[in-house]
Amino acid sequence: MKAGVIVFPGSNCDHDAWYAVNENLHGRAEFIWHDSANLGDIDAVILPGGFSYGDYLRCGAIARFSPVMKAVKKFAADGGLVLGICNGFQILVEAGLLPGALLRNRELKFICREVRLQTETTASPFTSKLEKGQILRIPIAHGEGQYFADARTLDELEAEDRVAFRYLENPNGSARSIAGILSRERNVMGMMPHPERACDPLMGSTDGLGILESMLSAVPALSK
């Protein structure tokens, strides 16, 4: 799998994602600058965590207008895999690639710690190597990670099996404890926890590798 890691001004988890793909997954990753008009020859896109454009307006609200996002939208529309992590999730929501919004954490404090996630579906290119109900230990690091959507959208996400992960102990007040969701076509996923920070034994957990391994196994099928 060759992944393109999008780098925005203010991204700070881009090298983490690059390392996880290259060193832990033994795939290939390259950086793509935010003003690039095309993505090149890649199999998947990763929008990493950080503070794109300083989050001065609203998390992801400025990044959605970056030139590269036009290419990301086309890539997703053509069936390409797009994973948004933390700030990347916020950008995907702002860009309209995923429904809902990410609000300030319930306690209005930045949270940085390991959490437990429950895998809600294995019917996606991001979770196929996991087991339904599998518990993952993955860190979070965000101040605006409270997932919000109206009741109708939440009902649709659940009815269509598009909730990828839920928090076991809801750290930020997210609606229905949602930690990650899928697009209707299931090729775009956004999640607030950082799987790239749980891919190496030195980090205390390798539970994030299952997500990247799922993407790896999906690439040959998508290219047929």
Which residues are known catalytic residues? 86, 194, 196
User: Is residue 11 within 8 Å of residue 50, measured between CB atoms?
Assistant: yes
Token pair 């970056």: residue? 66
Output the CA–CA distances (angstroms, integers) from residue 103 to 37, 203, 222, in the order listed.
Answer: 30, 28, 34
How are beta strands 163-167 and 111-119 bridged, if at all?
A: antiparallel
CA distance 109 to 106: 8
CA distance 50 to 92: 14
Q: Please name the helix (run of DSSP H) or strand (run of DSSP E) that holds residue 218, with its range, or none.
A: helix 209-222
